[in-house]
Structure 1
Amino acid sequence: MSRLIKKPIVVPNGVDVKIEPNKVTVKGPLGEFSMDYTYVKFRMDGNQIWVEENKDVNLPPRLMKKAKAFLGTRWSLLRNMIVGVSEGFKKELEIQGVGYRAQMQGNTLVLTLGYSHPIKIEPPEGITIEVPRPSLVVVKGASKELVGQVAANIRKTREPMPFARGKGVRYVGEYVITKEVKKA
């Protein structure tokens, strides 16, 4: 069983959590999310939410282990929803390399990464992309999963190259192991 469920999830002011049978809805200043669930039970106690095992469901013993595995996952998903609608999430990417740069053209991110053409990335609904300087890209949004996926897609356009002194797109603070080129 997960250790996370021993701690409550604190709901900040301005966030409404509605618990229904098999569905949780979280609404806040940055958006609204809902999650369907089974095998677990959410209990509201003031401004705290406790995640518990659902004892009302009769499951065979082989599925009880699977049901207990969902407790920590649902705790984390609910907490991410609450943090997302109240504060939001952000990922920062840095671009390293001579001539490599990023810029915004309207709502589209345009990356110049040494290819014969610029790469254009259109952010999905609920995601904002900012370029404070040509070598830094900031991805913001309320959904942790979507922010991480968009940042990973941007990084995938030119991953850091170990033999080229690590040039490419990387997360801020990411350490890239550089290798020496073979000598003839």
Structure 2
Amino acid sequence: MSRIGKKEIIIPNNIEIIINNSQITIKGTKGVMYYDIPLMIEVEIAKNKLRLHKKIISKQAQALHGLSRSIIYNMVKGISEGFTKKLIIQGVGYRAQMDGKTLIVNAGYSHPVKIESKQDININVENNTNIIISGINKETVGQVAATIRAIRPPEPYKGKGIRYENEVVRRKVGKAGK
């Protein structure tokens, strides 16, 4: 039983949802998103709530039921509020800056690392050490944040590297000398 799939999605007033055959379109002030509904799933709109039902009872339909509900919920939330991820850079000489739509990160390598911003993602740099990634698609915001973090993940001995805002890095004790 999919507990996630059974939950209703409450639609905010500023969002318009259109279901055309097997495609759902969500329009709002921040943009438009599309999702192809699997054939085993049926979407029903009642007043300001959206429900998903399974047409067939099978393991695959069960998995797609919860997945589809999560994706549609994230689309509604992204169009109404948006998603943000914050990264913090720690380390001597480690910093980031924006050059147009390109993020340039100096993280201890012999060269600066450049990352191009995707069209629906906004990247802002504050104080050269805080990077804020925002957008309407949760998946792409998370992927861009993970790509930036992968440049120099935090290391456990000195804590240097790029980490998420609330990430806790367990510190290790260094080598004990005689």
Q: Residue 2 of structure 2: SS of its match in structure 1?
A: coil
Distance in 2 (CA, whole Å) between partners of 1:76 and 1:141 is 17
Structure 1 residue aligned with 2:8: 8
Q: Residue 148 of structure 1: SS of its match in structure 2?
A: helix
Unpaired runs of 5+ in structure 1?
A: 56-60
1:173 aligns with one of 166, 173, 176: 166
After TM superposition, give the deviation of residue 13 of structure 1 in Å: 1.4
Give the root-mean-square deviation of aligned CA atoms: 1.3
Q: Residue 162 of structure 1: SS of its match in structure 2?
A: coil
**Count of residue pairs the alignment pairs up:** 176
After TM superposition, give the deviation of residue 65 of structure 1 in Å: 1.6
Distance in 2 (CA, whole Å) between partners of 1:166 and 1:81 is 35
Distance in 1 (CA, whole Å) between partners of 2:128 and 2:140 is 23
Note the alpha carbon deviations across 1:2-33, whole angstroms, 9 max, x for none: 11233210111121111122111111111111
Q: Please report the TM-score for the alignment, with normalisation by the length of structure 2.
A: 0.94
Q: Please report the TM-score for the alignment, with normalisation by the length of structure 1.
A: 0.91
Distance in 2 (CA, whole Å) between partners of 1:107 and 1:170 is 22
Distance in 2 (CA, whole Å) between partners of 1:154 and 1:5 is 32
Contact kept, 8 Å, 2:5 with 2:67, in 1: the verdict is: no
Structure 1 residue aligned with 2:54: 53
The letter of the residue matching 2:43 is F
Structure 2 residue aligned with 1:58: none
After TM superposition, give the deviation of residue 37 of structure 1 in Å: 1.8
Comparing 32-41 and 145-154, the one that deviates more: 32-41
Note the alpha carbon deviations across 1:114-166, whole angstroms, 9 max, x for none: 11111111111100100121110000001000000000000000011112x11
Unpaired runs of 5+ in structure 2?
A: none
Structure 1 residue aligned with 2:133: 139
Structure 2 residue aligned with 1:106: 100
Distance in 1 (CA, whole Å) between partners of 2:62 and 2:102 is 43
Q: Residue 103 of structure 2: SS of its match in structure 1?
A: strand
Contact kept, 8 Å, 2:96 with 2:106, in 1: the verdict is: yes
- Alignment of 1:89 with 2:101, yes or no, is no
Distance in 1 (CA, whole Å) between partners of 2:50 and 2:152 is 42
After TM superposition, give the deviation of residue 180 of structure 1 in Å: 2.0
